Structure 1
């Protein structure tokens, strides 16, 4: 009799396989549970408040910073500063809110001292809250209060005013400010060049005093002086949570001023030549800060959906032409020409469609193709021959 024997599987091998499978199942369920927990946790917006060195985090469905703060049990004084502002709409998933609490600040402006409550963090903001106007040439410093016993804890803003004087530059009278001590130093600071045929009413070595009048005249040729605006710069801060087209001015810009003097040649009572001889900035421009959205707005639908909605039946030639022009990208913009959208319209504005609205752009392109070529086949053949339509 022939006896058949089956190879035995080692017990240790079975144990190892069982442990590995158990670990894999455990990892699977843990990851599922973690994902579920995260989904539950993120069922709202994560808002982190920073307030006097403390941090408070909440998950909320509130639609404004003020509502979220109320939910977190945070109250404010009328002088507190909150960034972003209390009326800021919550559109993103995560926010960090900084709270600057008002505190007592002593403002010393020459012989005038006053105590105010302000959350301002910069000398300009503190001075503004105190009702004080600063000039570009004024110097400021913020330091701890010198006499804590007398005035209490806090900080002090010291303002060192610039000297104010009157500058008469070729007949144009302007009030000017400077920290310089002499007339010569002031002329160098203001980049005023004294030509050989110019006359200065005072010596360059004379000390510059409050209310002083400094006159500069040109002998011989006629001169005129004009006050001109200086354009302000614009800083754009991109917000990925706002859609394209959104714009909000966070800090309005302010135009500067400059006094420009020209040497003018007159003939028969008419100006025949003009040459700039001096330019003095009297007020520096203040840059404008804007928040602009960069999030692409979704209008939905596919390229085939847009063609069908536009009533296009020749899908083969339409797909060819659209693919060549834009790849059916409703946000496509030609960097050299400015043509844009699905049909690369030029100018972009003639479609009357929003950027990203593929259905509208495709309908416009269909109207254009049929109006100019009579059919999509003719337009596609023209493109194959010329490289454009």
Structure 2
């Protein structure tokens, strides 16, 4: 009996401890569930995982854009850095995987041209595009790690290797080609072209490829070739009497059109001996250029007498000169005879006798004074001749 009575309290203690532990575990589990529910309860929250140069960071945000979310998480973004998705993209999904591409200096070597760019891009052609380089499909842009960062000032170097540009006339069709081929034959082979027995390749297949060379492949005999050609635009000039002579303003810029022209070409020993147009179709109409040109002449200040005096005409001849010039041009410095082409105050013929400033009244009067005195001896003589013939 004594043994039984000693074991009974021990069982009670063990049972009590078990109950206490179970209660504690239940409380902890309930607390974790409550915390999880509080974290995920908001429908506006987003789970964001940021991958930044090998370092991952996760956080939950209620911000509407990625830019604001990163600011809240104290993740700085430089203006040259780039993210995927974009910084200003609206956050609508439940979770996001964000890649941050940090900008860094890259030394660009393009032939003799060397410069640095700050870029977040990771491929050669992307960096070349951001650097403003125009690359052809055949050009090669290789991104490598710099061997000496103290010398280059950048951890990476972009080497641009340009393909050689040549003009390739393929059975009459002129093409601009870029290639790394060393010989003409290698270029033709790269283009999967197999010349026929009666074809002529110029220069020879063994000739080295050099920049801007012209390579031609022709087939002897008659052949038709269709090429695209420009159609020049026309120009319409609208005269504006309120604008000074010499003023010109383009109101509508002209644009060349395009036409597709088919030629029948006869070749002999690699040389064109005959070319004939057999069809021409305009594919894009040219756009006419419209220009405003000024016709207003800035006349010297003063009266007719002031002009004659400036031209060196004697004041005693002013009356006759006034009368004759009124008959000739009505004192209009811009007067032009539509039938003969005579121009200016004194109606000089040809107009070129007065020079480029033919509509300057002083220039015209100075020439007229010399003409009258040389031909008629005086203004009075010119008046007498005009009275008899109605011209002088």
- Report the TM-score when normalising by structure 2: 0.50
Equivalent position to 1:36, from 34, 37, 41: 34
- Confirm whether residue 49 of structure 1 aligns to residue 47 of structure 2: no
CA contact (8 A) 1:170 1:225 kept: no
**Higher mean displacement: 74-83 or 19-28:** 19-28
CA contact (8 A) 2:170 2:217 kept: yes
CA separation of 1:110 and 1:17: change in aligned 2, threshold 3 A: same
1:1-389 pair list within 5 angstroms: 30-42=28-40, 43=42, 44-225=45-226
The 2-side partners of 1:73 and 1:88 are apart by 18
Alpha-carbon shift at residue 163 of structure 1 (Å) = 0.9
The 1-side partners of 2:149 and 2:191 are apart by 41
Alpha-carbon shift at residue 23 of structure 1 (Å) = 7.9
CA contact (8 A) 2:128 2:141 kept: no
SS at match of 2:221: coil
CA separation of 1:195 and 1:30: change in aligned 2, threshold 3 A: farther
Alpha-carbon shift at residue 220 of structure 1 (Å) = 3.0
SS at match of 2:126: helix
* 1:53-73 superposed Cα distances (whole Å, 9 cap, x missing partner): 333322101121111111112
Aligned to 2:379: none
CA contact (8 A) 2:105 2:118 kept: yes
Where does structure 1 lack aligned partners over 5 or more consecutive residues?
1-9, 228-260, 271-389
CA contact (8 A) 1:199 1:218 kept: yes
The 1-side partners of 2:264 and 2:97 are apart by 56
* 1:140-194 superposed Cα distances (whole Å, 9 cap, x missing partner): 2212224433333411101111111111112221211111211121112122232
**Higher mean displacement: 36-45 or 127-136:** 36-45
CA separation of 1:111 and 1:27: change in aligned 2, threshold 3 A: same
The 2-side partners of 1:18 and 1:263 are apart by 110
Where does structure 2 lack aligned partners over 5 or more consecutive residues?
1-7, 229-261, 266-277, 280-392
The 2-side partners of 1:172 and 1:88 are apart by 48
Alpha-carbon shift at residue 41 of structure 1 (Å) = 2.6
RMSD over aligned Cα atoms: 3.6
CA separation of 1:16 and 1:151: change in aligned 2, threshold 3 A: same
CA separation of 1:23 and 1:222: change in aligned 2, threshold 3 A: farther
Alpha-carbon shift at residue 76 of structure 1 (Å) = 2.4
Equivalenced residues, count? 225
Larger-Rg structure: 2
* 1:233-260 superposed Cα distances (whole Å, 9 cap, x missing partner): xxxxxxxxxxxxxxxxxxxxxxxxxxxx
